[in-house]
Amino acid sequence: MNQRIYQLESKIFFRNKTVITGLLILLVSGLAGLYFGKDFIERQKKVIAKAEKLQTENTARNIKYFGKELGLTLYHNKFQMANMPRNWAAFSNGQRDINPYLIGVTTLGLEGQLYDTDLNNPSTLLLGNMDLAFVFIFIFPLVIIAFSYNLLSGEQESGVWGLLRSQSTVPLKVIWRKFLVRMTAVYLAALVLMAIAAVYLQLAVDGRLLAVIVVLSLYLLFWFSLSFWIISLGKSSSFNAVSLISFGVVLNILAPAIVNVWLTRQYPVPEALETVVMQREGYHEKWDMDKSVALNSFYKHYPQFKKYPFPQEQAFSWYWYFAMQQNGDDQAATGAQAMNRKLQQRSRFTDMAAFILPGIQTQLALNGIAGSDLQQHLQFQQALRHYHEQLRLYFYPSIFREQPVESIDWSQFKLKRYYGDNNGKIWPCIISLVGFTGLLSFLSLYNFRKKIYS
């Protein structure tokens, strides 16, 4: 009997052309999100592959034209490091469009090079890139609202609800059956898109896939519970539609914008420019000072290099020049640390604010799993600092001993790949979504039992 009732409810539901249109919107926009998300990451991979080839060519060219002195060669030669995207990055592009994923540095001062990035159209950055995560977070809730807003009020306004109440001992079951049919349709569309994503993006069947499925399932369940609560108030269809759309605008558009503005004002980051300026000042001012000033500061940082003789009789030496560059980095270190603290504070506050904003919470969880969040970028910067330090410690002795360029095995210096190991934090997201879903479900059942629908 129950199976026949559900079949009848399904036929009534899918007979509506709006339902078919909504499901097609989900599938088409989901496929488009998959294509554009993967295309965005593929373009980054092509740039990285091209950079790897160009680094070898540029190194050979620099040796050819500037190979008389090792210091001069290293002045021009860049060493590339790439933040390699995971396959999941195509699912959720995150901040890979605003943070540099490929940075080339020389062995000179690092702080003046660390924040170099490509020029981008601000309008494009404002709109962001479309990916499957965008479809789940922004498009799916709209379709859920369209499917659910008149589930009860439509029956009341058409006069059918009175007949259903008179023929059913538990009218709430009638509402629940209708709701379950809608949930099944939406979750089937989500399952189809996830299956296509797993194949198209070559996603491994592992803990990350399970985590994404759990997070997205709870996120969709939150929107269904929100719709269920609005319906339980017993208002008109127009009231339900306006209320649910308002919740969508506030939770997914307005509140994130307010949080972003507040973060910008509360934790401004002028240190990026200040760090570059301080690095340059710390280096340039040494030109007008006695060489011992730069060298003494350099020896405090690297006491192991005191053993190399410094050519005092020369007006210029690469020994002194690289010491000045290091002085610039040392002078800019305070600004760099302050900026990193500000970014960490921004990240912590966003995590706290997201606890009451399911859309942001879900986006942060997906970005963390995909390795495209702010924490991944900060880890990439730290890895670049470590790599730059390795380069310096390798080349400094050869520079100070004035060894020929040919003494260096340049073939070992290829593009450096960084693979982050950050898997994201999904438990705050799960706790938040489960908490809100449970609260809304309780309020909904309370409303139904308190009113005439039970």
Render 290-341 in DSSP notation, one character per residue. Answer: -HHHHHHHHHHH-GGGGGSPP-TT-S--HHHHHHHHHHHHHHHHHHHHHHHH
Residue 80, helix vs strand vs coil: strand
Query: What pLDDT does residue 298 have?
Result: 84
Query: What pLDDT does residue 128 have?
Result: 61
DSSP 86: P
- Residues 6 or more apart in contact with residue 448 via CB below 8 angstroms: 172, 175, 232, 454
Query: What pLDDT does residue 358 have?
Result: 92
The distance in angstroms from the start CA to the end CA of the chain is 21
Tokens of 423: 């898997």
Tokens of 274: 């200040």
DSSP 137: I
Return the bridge partners of 82, or none: 102, 417
Query: What pLDDT does residue 347 have?
Result: 81
Q: How far out from the chain centre does Cα 103 lie?
A: 18
Other Cβ atoms less than 10 A from the Cβ of 210: the count is 11
Amino acid at 139: I
396 vs 71: CA distance, rounded Å: 9
321 vs 311: CA distance, rounded Å: 12
Residues 80 and 100 sit within 8 Å (Cβ to Cβ) = no
Alpha-carbon dihedral 141, 144, 149, 150, rounded to 10 degrees: 160
Amino acid at 147: F
Residues 327 and 294 sit within 8 Å (Cβ to Cβ) = yes
H or E element in which residue 416 lies:
strand 416-418
Q: What total number of domains does the chain contain?
A: 1
What is the extent of the structural domain holding 246?
Answer: 2-450
Query: What pLDDT does residue 454 have?
Result: 46
- The CA distances from residue 75 to 66, 103, 227, 286, 384, in Å, are 9, 16, 62, 18, 18
How would you write the pLDDT of the chain (454 residues) with one tens digit per residue? 567 777 777 787 778 888 999 999 999 999 999 999 999 999 999 999 999 999 999 999 999 998 888 989 999 999 999 999 999 999 999 888 888 899 998 888 777 777 665 555 554 545 567 899 999 999 999 999 999 988 877 766 666 666 666 566 666 777 888 889 899 999 999 999 999 999 999 999 998 999 999 999 999 999 999 999 999 888 888 999 999 999 999 999 898 888 888 887 877 765 555 565 665 665 556 666 677 777 888 888 888 888 887 777 777 788 888 888 888 777 777 777 777 787 888 888 888 888 889 999 999 999 999 998 888 988 998 999 999 999 999 999 988 888 889 889 998 999 999 988 766 788 889 999 999 999 999 999 888 877 654 4
Residues 275 and 111 sit within 8 Å (Cβ to Cβ) = yes
Q: Which of 140, 33, 96 is nearest to 362 (CA)?
A: 140
DSSP 417: E
- Residues 6 or more apart in contact with residue 95 via CB below 8 angstroms: 367, 372, 373, 374, 377
DSSP 251: I
- The CA distances from residue 268 to 99, 177, 260, 336, 339, in Å, are 17, 51, 11, 14, 9
- Match 């507040």 to its residue by tokens: 262
- The pLDDT tens digits for 87-131 are 999 999 988 888 889 999 888 877 777 766 555 555 454 556 789
**pTM value?**
0.87
